[in-house]
Amino acid sequence: MSHAEITREMFEQSSWDERYGGDGHIWSGRPNAVLAREAAALTPGRAVDLGCGEGGDAIWLAERGWQVTAADFSGAGLARAAAHGAERGVADRVEWRQADLRTWRPEGEQWDLVTSHFLHLLDDGMLEATRQMADAVAPGGTLLVVGHHPDDAHTGLRWSMPGVLFAAEELAQAVDPDLFDVHTEARERRETRDGVEHVVTDAVLLARRR
């Protein structure tokens, strides 16, 4: 199997089921910093977390009064997330759904907050995914998409395949400016990996629906 084939396999459900099926946490369990900052000013309502992983963001929102739908394509990840949610006492506030975000459609359902953190799809798939996310935002609601910026490619921490990392301005093309007030940003932060501190850049798309 070539390097490219191995890398593509890393983006498949089976690969993530294997990761989540192992021992120990993959993620910290804490909410992503951008979500914590942006959601703090919002009135709790209905939220959807797309690409929820082990459920850190979804559980944090539920603890703050949101009714949350959390979706991921990994059944093993969702099982782990549901267990964490039960331990934290929010099982009645989170609905865990198995869904492949490459083909996901809101089917007319809308939420007050649509959020996705560090979901990356091959072949520029995030543009269509963002279009679907925007369709899922209720009037007066918020869309928040955060991911790894292409400037991170030099750090050696991210995937080397083209079309995976994205700038927020690229995703903004999928959001109707007649319906949304759109803000894009490249936001730096510090990340420690294997004891070494790196400066990394997050792509932040924040859109408020009128």
- 66-100 pLDDT, tens per residue? 999 999 999 999 999 999 999 999 999 999 999 99
Compute CA distances 25 → 80, 84, 118, whole Å.
9, 11, 17
Q: Quote the pLDDT of residue 3.
A: 47
Q: Quote the pLDDT of residue 69.
A: 99
Q: Quote the pLDDT of residue 182.
A: 99
d(CA 200, CA 192): 10
Confidence of residue 63 (pLDDT cuts 50, 70, 90): very high
Mean pLDDT calculated for residue range 148-154: 86
**Where are the domains positioned within the chain?**
3-209
Q: Quote the pLDDT of residue 23.
A: 76
> Is residue 2 pLDDT above 60, yes or no?
no
Q: Mean pLDDT across the chain, nearest whole number?
A: 92
Mean pLDDT calculated for residue range 197-206: 94
Mean pLDDT calculated for residue range 24-43: 88
Confidence of residue 123 (pLDDT cuts 50, 70, 90): confident
Mean pLDDT calculated for residue range 15-40: 84
Q: Would you say domain 3-209 falls under CATH 3.40.50.150?
A: yes
Q: What is the pLDDT of residues 164-176, one digit of tens each?
A: 899 999 999 999 9
Confidence of residue 12 (pLDDT cuts 50, 70, 90): confident
Q: Which residue has the higher pLDDT, 70 or 123?
A: 70
What is the C-alpha end-to-end distance of the chain, expressed in Å? Answer: 49
d(CA 18, CA 77): 9
